[in-house]
A and B are shown apart, each in its own frame.
Chain A
Amino acid sequence: MGQTEGFETDFWKHADLRKVWDDIVPGEPRKTIPYTLTREAIELYCASVGEDHPIYFDEEYAKRTIYGGLIAPPSIHILLMFACTPADDWMRSPGTVNAGQSWSYNIPARPGDVITLQARALDKFIRRERLFVVHDNVFFNQQGQVICSGRGWTIRPQ
């Protein structure tokens, strides 16, 4: 899996470097890293959810569509979220529970795009003894165009 080269898959490593709920400052930008989206990464993501539309795989077909070439499925931000954040990011804290997400899509990501992320916690709160954080994320392509923007709610490990 070329996608995982250099990616630390043991989320327990660096766990002590990550912010806990108490440390998270809503509004403070998170450290992010640019990521070059490859055709292989798109195809692996497609395989994991059974995406089989030719717009993701068949260059000749894709050229004849309104998109004019291959694109990634909109939900590729699932991969981008981890690909664009460093190992000490608190998204990777073991036991982080995803409570819900909302995403708006502007233009598709494409193979070869160099994607950047602007991310922060927007809010944090306690409800029924659970520690929540509201995530605010925007992905851009190399031209500075918004690909998609999303809000997520996670329950932080205690």
Chain B
Amino acid sequence: MSVTFESLRAGDSIDGPIFPVSRESIRLFCDASLDYNPLHLDDEYMEGNFGKTHFGGIIMHGMNNFGLISRMITDWAYAAGAIHRRLETRWIKPVRPGDTIQPVGTVRSKQTTAKSHWVLIDVTVCNQTGEKVASGEAMVEFPAT
């Protein structure tokens, strides 16, 4: 069933991809993003403290969450003839090798403006134990036809 602006309701959900995180997936993200910050590569460095924060080992890039959420939103929007217009995210907990994460979206509201239609979507990313690791909101445009 294809999604239309008219048929969407607050509370409708969007399932994102299930993503297993490994040292290899993090390394691939380094190569793909050119972000070689030692936070994502160097276990010895990560034994240190960062101000008040102690990670105790390498962590996944926060932007890897962002990329997965974006993938969920675009795949959903393309199928509906809609356009992914905005994504805002906050990181809540570090993600480590061995974790499995999944973004999920929930339609919060719809709005019609002078020239277009908009859907606001709350997004969360949870790990395998159901802990929220990232949250945010997206805005998708359904162009007026």
In the bound assembly, the distance between CA atoms of A50 and B84 in angstroms comes to: 18
Q: B64-83 toward A: CB 8 Å interface, digit per residue (1/0)?
A: 10111011001100100101
Contact of B29 among A3, A48, A55, A66 (CB under 8 A): A48
Shortest beta-carbon distance from A115 to chain B in Å: 13
Tell whether, in the assembled complex, residue B37 and residue A129 are in contact, meaning their CB atoms are under 8 Å apart.
Answer: no
Are A48 and B85 in contact, CB atoms less than 8 angstroms apart?
no
The total of chain B residues at the interface (CB under 8 A) is 42
Identify the stretch in B4-12, B88-96, B106-114, B117-125 within 8 Å (CB) of chain A at 4 or more residues.
B88-96
Contacts of B63 in A (CB 8 A): 75, 78, 98, 101
User: Interface digits, A81-121 against B, CB 8 Å rule (1 contact, 0 not)?
Assistant: 11100000000101111111111110000000000000000
Bound-state Cα–Cα, A100 to B53, Å: 16
Kindly state the separation between the CA atoms of A49 and B67 in the bound complex, as whole angstroms: 6
Asked if A104 meets B70 with Cβ closer than 8 Å, knowing A48-B33, A98-B63, the reply is no
- Chain B, residue nearest A56 (CB): B74
Contacts of A155 in B (CB 8 A): 51
- Nearest-Cβ distance from residue A114 to partner chain B, whole angstroms: 17
Report, as a range, how many residues of chain A touch the other chain: 35 or more
Which of A4, A10, A82, A97 is B50 in contact with, Cβ under 8 Å? A97
Interface string of B33-69 (1 = CB under 8 A from A): 1111111000001000011110000000111101110
> How close is B117's CB to chain A, nearest CB, in angstroms?
16
Q: Specify which chain A residues have a CB less than 8 angstroms from the CB of B85 in the assembled complex.
A: 104-105
Q: Which residue of B lies closest to A79 (CB)?
A: B33
Complex contacts, B68 vs chain A, CB 8 Å: 49-50
Nearest neighbor of B139 in chain A, beta-carbon distance: A104
Given A75-B66, A102-B87, A103-B86, A51 contacting B35 (CB threshold 8 A): no
Known pairs A47-B32, A48-B33, A82-B35; A73 contacts B70 (CB<8 A): yes
B70 touches A157 (CB 8 A): no
Binding site for A on B (CB under 8 A): 17, 19, 25, 28-39, 45, 50-53, 61-64, 66-68, 70-71, 74-75, 78, 81, 83-91
Closest 9 CB pairs of A and B: A48-B32, A102-B88, A82-B34, A49-B67, A75-B70, A98-B62, A100-B90, A45-B32, A9-B36
Residues of A in contact with B (beta carbons under 8 Å apart)? 1, 3-4, 7, 9-12, 44-45, 47-51, 53, 55, 66, 73-75, 78-79, 81-83, 92, 94-105, 128-130, 155, 157-158
21 contacts between A and B (CB under 8 A): A3-B32, A3-B34, A4-B31, A9-B34, A48-B25, A49-B19, A50-B17, A74-B84, A75-B63, A75-B67, A78-B35, A79-B32, A83-B34, A94-B39, A95-B37, A100-B90, A101-B63, A101-B89, A102-B88, A104-B86, A105-B85
